[in-house]
Structure 1
Amino acid sequence: MTQRNETGADEIAQFANNAFFDQAFPKQSHNYEELSNYLELNAGYLPEMSIFDDAFREYLDQDTI
């Protein structure tokens, strides 16, 4: 959710915006497997899982600062 940007054109911002509006997305989860499994089964708005992988990697990098 930290990557949300309503006017953002990059893939991660678009993914974050769509996940924000996905009522069932597990927004409070920090578990990669839980989030990845949810997205693989339910997120038609995510064209490639590599976008999530990149976003999660950025999240981990920010979280360790």
Structure 2
Amino acid sequence: MRKSFYQFILKYRSKKKGDELGAFAEEIYNDHAFPKYSMDYHEISSYLELNDTALNSVRLFDQVWDAYEQEVLN
């Protein structure tokens, strides 16, 4: 069974200062409304754009999505 994006991003969780990806993953983990079972780029991207004002998060999402596609979806 393939992992959802949420399951994939959890491996990057980190509370180390300066770790942007770790902080992004931690924010997703703490967001109880995040679409945890989705494997759809547009659904997750729209969710982040509508619910997150940090442009940095959208940039990070695009980078991590590429890794997600290569590792999980292909």
TM-score range, shorter chain: 0.7 to 0.9
Higher relative contact order (CA 8 A, sep 6+): 2
CA shift for structure 1 position 58: 1.2
Number of matched residues? 64
Amino acid at match of 2:42: E
**Per-residue displacement from partner, 1:26-53 (whole Å, max 9, x unpaired)?**
0110000000000000024x44211100
How well do the aligned residues superpose, as a CA RMSD in angstroms? 2.0
Provide the secondary structure at the position in 2 that maps to 1:2: helix
Structure having the larger proportion of residues in helix: 2
Which aligned pairs between 1:1-65 and structure 2 lie closer than 5 A? 1-7=10-16, 9-44=18-53, 46-48=54-56, 49-63=58-72
Q: Give the TM-score normalised by structure 2.
A: 0.70
Any gaps of 5 or more consecutive residues in structure 1? none
Say if 1:3 and 1:13, in contact at 8 Å, map to a contact too.
yes
Amino-acid identity (%): 34
Any gaps of 5 or more consecutive residues in structure 2? 1-9
In 1, Cα distance between equivalents of 2:32 and 2:51: 11
